[in-house]
Structure 1
Amino acid sequence: MESQKYAIVDIETTGHSQANGDRMIQIAIVIMEDWCIKKTFTSFIHPGKSIPLFIQDLTNITDTDVQDALPFEAHADYIYELLQDTVFVAHNTDFDLSFLQGEFKRVGLPKWNGKVIDTVELSKILFPSSLSYKLGDLAVELNIPLNNAHRADDDAKACALLLKECWEEILSLPQVTLEQMHKKSFRLKTNLSQLFFEALQIKRGKVEKEDDYVYYNKLALKKPSKSVKDLQEGIEYPITTPEKVGLFKQAMEQFEERQEQFEMMDIIWDNLNNKSEVMIEASTGIGKTIGYLIPSILYAKKSNRKVCISTYTTNLLEQLLTNEIPKVEKIIGRPINVTLLKGKKNYVDVILFEQLMKSQDLSYDETLTVLQVLVWLSKTETGDLSELNCSGGGQLFIDKIRKNTEKTQQKHSLDYYDRAIQESSDADLIITNHSMLLADLVRHEPIFDEIDGWIIDEAHQFVQAAEQRDQAIFTFTNWKYIFGRIGLSTDQELFTAFQKIAIKKQRVPLSAFHQLEKIYIRMIELFDKTMQDIVSQMRVSAHHSKSNAKRLDFMHELSLNREYIVDFSKAMQQWIDLADQMSAHFKKDIEQIAPEHKLVLEQWDYWIREYKMKASEWDEIFIKYDEDYTTWIEIDQRNIPGSIRVLKKPISISSTIEQLFHPIRQKSAVIWTSGTLTVPNNERFIAKQLGIKKDVPLKRLQAPEHYYKGAKAFIVNDMPDIQGVSQSDYIESVALAITQIVRSTQGRCFVLFTSQDMLRKTVELIQESELLLDYMIFAQGVTSGSKLRLLKSFQKFSHSVLFGTNSFWEGVDVPGDGLSSVIVVRLPFSAPDEPTFKAKSAAIQQQGKNAFTELSLPEAILRFKQGFGRLIRSSQDKGVFVVLDRRIETKSYGVEFLRALPQISVTKLPLQHMVLEIEHWYNSKDEERKQVDKQ
């Protein structure tokens, strides 16, 4: 076979729009044959205009670099010739190739024709678990040298090496996987089918043993590695301080003795042995995670029983596994048998995937995701779908292949959830998250009978996890989508396809389809009537309140037509029963059904399962009444009925948690721990929400004062009173304060808001003013990307500012110099009209109590404590905590916020004086660092 020639191209430009006069400033082409670099061409290009500052910052290419360069016209013929008879390769061909084609056209050359490979598309398929598909991030992950990202010469070479890495990855895949990939690859955007075909030819020419896989039809799955049970005897728990110090010192060179950490270890050890319950508030700085891991693992090994650790976010789960467990293994000097266990829906259902991937009408996003899953199945040991990094459209396909909570007939080796449960039976430690724990306590997985100790980390978040587990959400668009997937005999949807094959094979009588269609039409009519009733009721309600495009009403305040609601529920159940019967008729002699017919039936069964879940959701939201829940309806008058959403949430979850933990408390230790469990004047606020009895002790462990020596708090006392000025005036003052503080700390700043609207308006004003033009600004809900992505982007730049709302107040870890300041724009009280908060307040008032002191204030203080916790993550950290909300000084409750902070200096100053203080502090910090560097 003649060896293929690849031209790997990267260009840098003054911007993305040729129509607006953007031009090239650098081009690099790497010619690769036989997977070796044969030739490179690189040149600066004169753009005929000055290079924008942000492009200079991004590429490090200045006007000086290009001042003696020739324009594109001078290189065009040579570049065009160089690309002949090659496969054009780029990291995002949509940009590089289309820009280059535009330049060829501009200078009078014909359009370049040839095959194209996009390494973004290819990398997504071959490295489906990568966190990012940016060239720089992939280069780091795959150890590809890339010294100057966003320089065409370095980028093109890195892209060439990435292509070679991809080729080697393709060759490492099992043959059956490659065959499936080749079949599907013709629907991709670039010519990857050629690569897969070449690799298949090589594979077929070799006789290779593929013992590392188990097979299901045409799928290759990585064979699970056998877990080796640690048969070593357990080591003794270090009772005295010298014993503890000795244990830590042998594993950690720079061990910092922390008495509070030792105290926490002893509390947990005693409670595990006594099978008792305790709450521990452990502030940042005492080493909470190691503090509970060591006694847990030593207890598990000594007693030959298990300890389960539950935390809130996936991020914290990964931190435990990748960072903390290896540290503990080093400290105790032996491996730990640990298993990560998640809820069923986190795992792939291999049989479902195998069925759905056969579909002929997959979209581009679905095709790409199928290829990603094919590669991933040959590598994953867990089957945990969160390992995959899929596009938005691909995520919908992922949701279809999740393991269903209903039992499915699967071989044990293919069921990743069963495998995780099996591994748990050999483990000392089981690590899970709150939502999984809540779900499986309800289902009662037998594995939990073997657990002697429960450590609930981030315990304050257990309240939120329980609320989320018990909530139900109805959205009009989601229901309409599900109705549309079945359709009528006049549509080309599933009903038509099922009827066609069922009648053809004479498996189901035509009369049954007529009856089913009749019920379906009735069901849709009743659904639409209910939606119209909701809208008209809310419009009536709107006459009695301020006119606003967005409306929100509690369901009990509306007089909805119960007849429509109940009749719809009955009609839906009738449809499900008949559709189920028809499926059962069809399934007789299943072996005789052609594969394409089998696929239609499997899709039919999949949607029946979805309808069953929806029917249950309807009854839960619209029919079942429960005084411990609140239900409200939201609409946007600009989009009716498309915007209808109904939410049902619990007002209190203490009884749910009490019910779940009652059997556990009889035989196991329960340890609740968090950095924020208490607030001044209401120490048992979280305990009460969790339904924990008063006789359960609450221990508070605070890091020593010197841990916070690098922290300063400032209150700006000349900010306007938000109630005394217009919102626009207040935002103007906030924007000015933020820009001055950011400049005084030179960036690395978190700005915390309580309102997305205020955040957006403040960011817009700052951008319009251009006062922070030389800073990178990342804003939640404004800058695209997930919370994790925003955080990673923020950490990449020293001159950066991150604007965040609720989720950035906690669970975000930026150690060291990554964060210099946290600005609190407003004290984090819940919005009084937020429905769940409103319902909880009403319930408290009905008991004759004060909702502000019982709920609003303690919630806000907890968030405030968590906001401060972002700043100091180690005893070496330094940073300023700035509060712009004057209520902390002018209101009587302000002192309680300050009492919730560690013992640090709190200074009240006008903005200008405070900025000078911060500059002085920041400069002295730089001097200290320089002195340390000299030493």
Structure 2
Amino acid sequence: MSTSKYAVVDLETTGHSPSNGDRIIQIAIVFIENNKIIDTYMRYVHPQRPIPPFIHQLTSIGDEEVKDAAPFEKIAEEVADLLAGCIFVAHNTDFDVSFLQKELVRCGVSKWHGKTIDTVELAKIMYPTLPGYRLQDIAESLNISLKQAHRADDDAEATALFLLKAIEKIKTLPKETLNRMHERSFAMKSDVSTLFYEALKHVRGKETSNDYALFRGIPYLKSKPATTSWPEPIEFPADNMAKDRIMQKIHPSYHVREGQAQLMDLTWQAFVEKKQIAVEIPTGAGKTIGYLVPALIRAYETKQPVVISTYTNHLVDTLAEEVQKLEKALEMTIPTTVVKGMANYISFGKFEELLHFNDEVYDDSITIMQLLVWLTETTTGDLDEVNVSGGGQLFIDRIRKRSMRVKKDERVADFYTHTLKNCQQSMVLLTNHSMLVNDQQRYDPLFHSISGLVIDEAHQMNQAAIRTHQQVFSYTKWKYVMSQLNGFSSCQLLFDIQDILKRFRFNHKISTERLQQSFNEFMFAFDESMLVLMNSNSNYDNKQSTRTVKPLSKRLRSNEIFDKVLRKMNEYISVTENYAMPIQNLSNELTLHEQAALNEWFYWVNEMKIKAGEWIELFLEQPKSNNTIWMEKDSRSLPGSLQIKKSPVNGSEVIRDFVDTFEEEAGIVWTSGTLTAGLQDRFVLDQAGLPSSVPLYTFDAPANFYEGAHTLIVEDMPDIQQVSNEEYIEAVADALIQTAVAIEGRVFALFLSHDMLKKTHQAVIDSESLQEEYMLIAQGVSSGSRHKLLKTFKQQKKAVLFGTTSFWEGVDVPSEQLSAVVVVRLPFTSPEEPLFKARSKALVAEHKNAFIHLGLPEAILRFRQGFGRLIRSSDEQGFFIILDRRIDTKSYGTSFLQALPTSSVKKVSLEGLVNEIENCYND
């Protein structure tokens, strides 16, 4: 039993700085002893100053609530006595401990002394797959009661309940995991080592559960054998009554919809007849169920799996959740395997090797602890499951699986190998477009002998095929690889190799000097080449933006400096290889740490060889006629922002290669909510290189589905082509403020450029019109991934999310969490964007108008996707607000509006916008 007493503390304050007069307005302490809550303490505190309105709104604590409360001076001694001898626990101890200490000193009371446990840090370690680590996120994910966030009493209670849950979970870890966790816990910022020590005492002498296997002493959850027997086949529901019965098994209130029923029939027919079809089916028609049901029945019938591909790994995971729901609803086993690229999975051998180093930074240490816990839970080994910090991503990148060659003991534990084996017993294989188009490059293709293929989000297939074959030079990534083998002041790996050479009495003085000289020569040439790139073609630089995108000309690439870099790089690689050669034949005499260091050295030598190959392809080889090459940089962060990209102009050739392998072998269904682009109804299919013989079916949304959608064109916005960028941004900021205030809810603002997004976001902040009530979340400004920003947005009652291209599609927000989508400008691709420019040039060579055949249909597709963010079900209401006047003043504007589903469209002034929104709500 634990002898420790924990005091779980939460403070609500008027601000973050006691030295600037901020004060506590509520303090709550929950006491835990013997793993039970034994007492609580809560006091309102008079701050002796008005409580700011935004704090009142955040906490629901205003001047009225504290008017009869004592100031902190009156209770400071009482609080200090209560905390004496306790371990101080808080959700972000940096704030609570620091604030409380300053207040105690101000009141003439001695500072508190003792150990701290930060539950943010503890949550990251013990729950490494949570989507977020705010207290609300944790409470929601772990089913912990949190009555009202940002109230000290409720927050302290939720934090205490979390602590108890985490302590119980720690006790369930295998003792081998606990030992490794305890070793590294001393590198943490709070005293979580106390918890691991207590748990080690608890498990001493106990046997590790049979649920776990060991890989070189590291416990991991044993994989369960995949299902090998398939259930009896079921009949395809030929009529709507039979389809209805299936839908009502999924949910009693569900009925098959017309478009959904036709998608089922078309999918079934395509699979049975082994032909290709394309189906555009809008939001609300039940697309996923529409193709899943016939796919599953066909897989049962043929005893061959169906493959379903979608655009991103996030969408693949979402699709896996849909299959699980269907499995539960239909009360049937659906053996399913999610297949991602090899680098998405952990290399167990590499991870174990890196554990022998003791010189990690904090981010590495906490990531290792997260992974040790995760390995006792994961059934996939998919690194996407782990939520690590930005710094932790560097460690994750080092342990990604890069090769199928593994040692015998690792073969048993290798998650990727298990995934490939599971494919052979699965009914459903879920993957992403990149994996699909790359399948023919594999020695042993995965997606063969299948009963059918569904390509969801088909409008993204061309883009995926292009990106799969795109090569990218990143200055920062190159510098990171280079730094691993050299840098005498900071490269611990080099010192490790020197220590081994010394131990075996090799005289390395001359070879070390040669290594240093070769590295310096290589770096000098590399830095010179970067200067050539940074200073080139200044006439392309955009005076309105710090970001520059420009073609990498043949003249520039012919500069002899690029040959010199390759020559010096190859010399350096040869020297680094030879440097550690004397100890390579002594592997039997090396300690585990020394063997790990040697393996790490040659790992980075190999990475340098890969980089040398990339250098040749990017700078020295003549690009193929179907390729284009360009440079991107940002003048605010040079050379760090420098990137060179080489890309195919289109992906149709790659797509045709994999499609041809299914000819007369399996049916293919191409589907999306947006396959048509105005008059260019086969635009997506043509981009993918599909022949005209592939039929295209389009279905409308259910009747009245978009009744709640209101499209408003703001007709008195400045003309984007006639005014300065600053003037337009000012008008956009004003429109966003007025929209947010009128709607009193959540607003998506969709931009095309990060530069305009950041400036508009800053203009809204500077206006101070929304800061007290609204949370402003901006992609590329607010910290976190796209999914984290979206989750934060969903949790706020009032928020504005500023997003660029990735927020135009694939984002699902229910109506109560999204009130308006604001299109800042029509989503045309910049004519100077290199890939677009190359594709336009190819069209002109075919005597086609690039605007009509590429620019306009691409923009219409993106526009339709933006509209699709707004209404996700028939009972929703929302506003699609267009600020770009060109939709009204240019002849092509009608093409955008006609491409939208039938719904209300009105022109309004900016002043009338507010009235129109209010009228719609009143109606």
Shorter-chain TM-score category?
A: over 0.9
Q: CA deviation at 1:560?
A: 4.1
Query: SS at the partner of 2:907?
Result: strand
Q: CA deviation at 1:350?
A: 1.0
Aligned 8 A contact 1:339 1:420 in 2: yes
1:742/1:452 Cα in 2 relative to 1: closer, same or farther (>3 Å)?
A: same
Match of 1:433? 432
Identity %: 43
Match of 1:74? 74
Deviation digits for residues 787-809 of structure 1 (CA, Å, limit 9, x no counterpart): 21222222223333222221111
Distance 2:506 2:533 in 1: 41
- Aligned ranges 1:725-804 → 2 under 5 Å: 725-772=723-770, 773-804=772-803
Match of 2:134? 134
1:806/1:736 Cα in 2 relative to 1: closer, same or farther (>3 Å)?
A: same
Deviation digits for residues 741-786 of structure 1 (CA, Å, limit 9, x no counterpart): 3333222222222233333333333333333343333222333322
Question: Which of 384, 395, 398 is matched with 2:396 structurally?
Answer: 398
Q: CA deviation at 1:222?
A: 0.6
Match of 2:202? 202
Match of 2:814? 815
- Aligned ranges 1:210-609 → 2 under 5 Å: 210-322=209-321, 324-330=322-328, 332-405=330-403, 407-410=405-408, 411-487=410-486, 492-502=491-501, 504-505=503-504, 517-538=516-537, 550-556=547-553, 558-577=555-574, 579-580=576-577, 586-609=583-606
**TM-score of the pair, normalised by structure 1:** 0.94
Match of 1:23? 23
1:436/1:510 Cα in 2 relative to 1: closer, same or farther (>3 Å)?
A: farther
Is it true that 1:110 corresponds to 2:107 in the alignment? no
Query: SS at the partner of 1:362?
Result: coil
Aligned 8 A contact 2:708 2:875 in 1: yes
Is it true that 1:854 corresponds to 2:849 in the alignment? no
1:762/1:145 Cα in 2 relative to 1: closer, same or farther (>3 Å)?
A: same
Distance 1:391 1:212 in 2: 29
Match of 1:630? 628
User: Which stretch shows the higher mean deviation, 438-447 or 255-264?
Assistant: 438-447
Distance 2:782 2:412 in 1: 43
Q: CA deviation at 1:724?
A: 2.9
User: Which stretch shows the higher mean deviation, 637-646 or 667-676?
Assistant: 637-646
Q: CA deviation at 1:506?
A: 5.6
Distance 2:792 2:715 in 1: 33
Distance 2:385 2:700 in 1: 36
CA RMSD of aligned residues (A): 2.3
Aligned 8 A contact 1:442 1:660 in 2: no
1:569/1:738 Cα in 2 relative to 1: closer, same or farther (>3 Å)?
A: same
Distance 1:467 1:851 in 2: 19
User: Which stretch shows the higher mean deviation, 692-701 or 528-537?
Assistant: 528-537
Query: SS at the partner of 1:483?
Result: helix
- Give unpaired runs (5+ residues) of structure 2: none
Aligned 8 A contact 1:343 1:440 in 2: no
Aligned 8 A contact 2:498 2:508 in 1: no
Q: CA deviation at 1:677?
A: 0.8
Deviation digits for residues 83-127 of structure 1 (CA, Å, limit 9, x no counterpart): 111111111110000101101111122222111111111111111
Query: SS at the partner of 1:782?
Result: coil
Is it true that 1:647 corresponds to 2:645 in the alignment? yes
Q: CA deviation at 1:161?
A: 1.5
Q: CA deviation at 1:487?
A: 1.3
Deviation digits for residues 381-402 of structure 1 (CA, Å, limit 9, x no counterpart): 1111111111111111111111
Aligned 8 A contact 2:356 2:592 in 1: no
Aligned 8 A contact 1:503 1:510 in 2: no
User: Which stretch shows the higher mean deviation, 25-34 or 785-794?
Assistant: 785-794
Distance 1:503 1:103 in 2: 55
1:436/1:734 Cα in 2 relative to 1: closer, same or farther (>3 Å)?
A: same
Match of 2:63? 63
Q: CA deviation at 1:548?
A: 7.4
Match of 1:658? 656
Distance 1:534 1:902 in 2: 47
Match of 1:50? 50
1:65/1:491 Cα in 2 relative to 1: closer, same or farther (>3 Å)?
A: closer
Match of 1:95? 95
Aligned 8 A contact 1:551 1:635 in 2: yes
Aligned 8 A contact 1:530 1:561 in 2: no
Q: Counterpart of 1:118 in structure 2: which amino acid?
A: D
1:310/1:106 Cα in 2 relative to 1: closer, same or farther (>3 Å)?
A: same
User: Which stretch shows the higher mean deviation, 408-417 or 499-508?
Assistant: 499-508
Query: SS at the partner of 1:432?
Result: strand
Match of 1:877? 876
Match of 1:611? 608
Query: SS at the partner of 1:447?
Result: coil
Distance 2:782 2:639 in 1: 29
Aligned 8 A contact 1:494 1:604 in 2: yes
Is it true that 1:685 corresponds to 2:686 in the alignment? no
Is it true that 1:919 corresponds to 2:918 in the alignment? yes
User: Which stretch shows the higher mean deviation, 525-534 or 426-435?
Assistant: 525-534
Distance 1:344 1:793 in 2: 31
Query: SS at the partner of 1:239?
Result: coil
Aligned 8 A contact 1:533 1:560 in 2: no
Aligned 8 A contact 1:537 1:560 in 2: no
1:272/1:562 Cα in 2 relative to 1: closer, same or farther (>3 Å)?
A: same
Q: Counterpart of 2:645 in structure 1: which amino acid?
A: L
Q: Counterpart of 2:597 in structure 1: which amino acid?
A: V
Q: CA deviation at 1:291?
A: 0.7
Distance 2:118 2:429 in 1: 41
Match of 1:844? 843
Q: Counterpart of 2:587 in structure 1: which amino acid?
A: I
Distance 2:245 2:647 in 1: 50
Distance 2:256 2:395 in 1: 50
- Give unpaired runs (5+ residues) of structure 1: 925-935
Distance 1:469 1:348 in 2: 21
Distance 2:595 2:54 in 1: 56
Q: Counterpart of 1:857 in structure 2: which amino acid?
A: L
Aligned 8 A contact 2:823 2:881 in 1: yes
**TM-score of the pair, normalised by structure 2:** 0.95
User: Which stretch shows the higher mean deviation, 853-862 or 465-474?
Assistant: 465-474
Query: SS at the partner of 2:388?
Result: coil
User: Which stretch shows the higher mean deviation, 306-315 or 67-76?
Assistant: 306-315
Distance 1:534 1:23 in 2: 53
Distance 2:11 2:489 in 1: 51
Number of paired residues? Answer: 920
Aligned 8 A contact 1:15 1:22 in 2: yes
Distance 1:560 1:86 in 2: 66
User: Which stretch shows the higher mean deviation, 487-496 or 40-49?
Assistant: 487-496
User: Which stretch shows the higher mean deviation, 596-605 or 424-433?
Assistant: 596-605
Deviation digits for residues 865-889 of structure 1 (CA, Å, limit 9, x no counterpart): 1111111111222222222222111
Q: CA deviation at 1:476?
A: 2.3
Q: Counterpart of 2:143 in structure 1: which amino acid?
A: N
User: Which stretch shows the higher mean deviation, 477-486 or 339-348?
Assistant: 477-486
Match of 1:932? none
Distance 1:581 1:77 in 2: 67
Distance 2:443 2:636 in 1: 46
Q: Counterpart of 1:23 in structure 2: which amino acid?
A: R
Q: CA deviation at 1:250?
A: 4.2
Query: SS at the partner of 2:12?
Result: strand
